[in-house]
Amino acid sequence: MAETASSRDPDQQYSPEPNILERRAADYLRKQNPKASYPLQACRDEERIALKRAGRQAIIWSAIAGILSGAIIGGMEWFMRKGILDGMQDMTLMEQLPYWAGFFAVAGVVSAVEILFLYWNALRGVARISRITGIPLQDSQYARLLLSGMSRVALELPSPRHRIYGIDPYAQMGRWKLAAISVMYRMKVGVSSFILRVLMRRVFGRMALRGMLPLVTGPLYAIWNAIITWRIMRKAKVQALGPYRIETLLHRLDADLDRLGSTARDVILQGMGELIMRNQDAHPSHVYLLSRLLDAFEASDRELTIDWPEHRRQLDTLDETEMHWVLEILTVATVLGGTWRGRPRRFLQEVHEACGVALDEERLQARRKEMLEGRQPGWGFPQNRPS
């Protein structure tokens, strides 16, 4: 029988055809982290400190790169205007053209070197995070999934756009928004950095402060680079700490697995599918968790057709243990998704309301903080369910 998309390993579900950049980044990450087994304990204090240091160093180096490139480009323009062209007051646009062409050529080279450094710096930071957290990047289908996810984070690539176990992560997203997000992803590190330089030159070129370009542009580029790198390190940290949380969850679930009926299992899988669509992204941690749940439930059909409204109505038929696990798994999945506000949060609130349980926002944020610090997760049955 030919292999279907739904029967592929989780790494093939997530990224069946990695591009050459993803493969090169994966090779680098794999060499930096030879670990092949899953983390079985929470991060120690020294590991938490090392994680903060790794992120901070990557951000500092990106800011330094911004200061240097900004100073070079701004200083070059200032020197050209004041030193070579003496203000260019008496020159026509055509007479200025060769000089500006030379300026933009040099600025483009400087920006290209800086952008390459930013990618390398992000990749190095992601490698350090994966090594400190101890996630496996070798020799298994789940390790390959994590490797692909970390590679795409370092390269600022969006998740691949195809179905995950039959689920279309972008089913609830308009095509125009999907296209806009695609453009924004490609602009984040490369195009956006160069456009910022051109805009700053135009803005300050028309102001009295244009003589201070080297002093102004450097800090602005540094801040821009730092924000982008901070986002990359944050995403990498969320993905790197996800496996421990998932494996801990599945270990606890194993003790109650016999108490979950077919209805509860279907509701959990349907809830995961709906959350992926509400999140509007095929997050690697969601693919990881969904695959582990399909294995744990021994699902014969691994291609899901999501009909959440129908399965939501079945929540009332579940007993207390089953309802607890629905809430627990979907809460952990929401925390793992990187972005828990907005649509994912509203979905989780909807599930709690259907179960007759109030969503504890403070507890949700505390659990997210626990995950980001790699601490032992706090567990407990939901409260406030009416009798």
Domain regions of the chain by residue span: 30-240, 242-372
Query: Is residue 387 predicted with pLDDT exceeding 50?
Result: no
Q: Which amino acid is at 386?
A: P
Kindly list the distances between the CA atom of residue 185 and the CA atoms of 123, 167, 214, 370, in Å, as whole numbers in the listed order.
17, 23, 28, 29
Q: How far apart are alpha carbons 106 and 73 in whole angstroms?
A: 8
Whether residue 193 is predicted with pLDDT greater than 70 in this model: the reply is: no
pLDDT at 171: 75
Question: 168-172, 201-205, 302-306 — which is least confidently predicted?
Answer: 201-205
Top pLDDT among 233 and 187 is at: 233
Four-CA torsion 95, 99, 101, 103, nearest 10 degrees: -160
Residue 382: which pLDDT band, with cuts at 50, 70 and 90?
very low
Both tokens of residue 256? 């109650």
The third-level CATH classification (topology) of the domain covering 242-372 is TerB-like (1.10.3680)
Is residue 29 pLDDT above 50, yes or no? Answer: yes
The mean predicted confidence, pLDDT, of the chain is 81
Residue 184 has pLDDT above 80, yes or no: no
- What is the average pLDDT across 37-59? 86
Q: 298-321 pLDDT, tens per residue? A: 888 888 999 999 999 999 899 999
Structure confidence by residue, pLDDT tens digits, 103-133 = 778 888 888 898 899 999 999 999 999 999 8
Mean pLDDT, residues 257-274 taken together: 94
Instruction: Read off the pLDDT band of 325 (50, 70, 90).
Output: very high
Of residues 7 and 106, more confidently modeled? 106
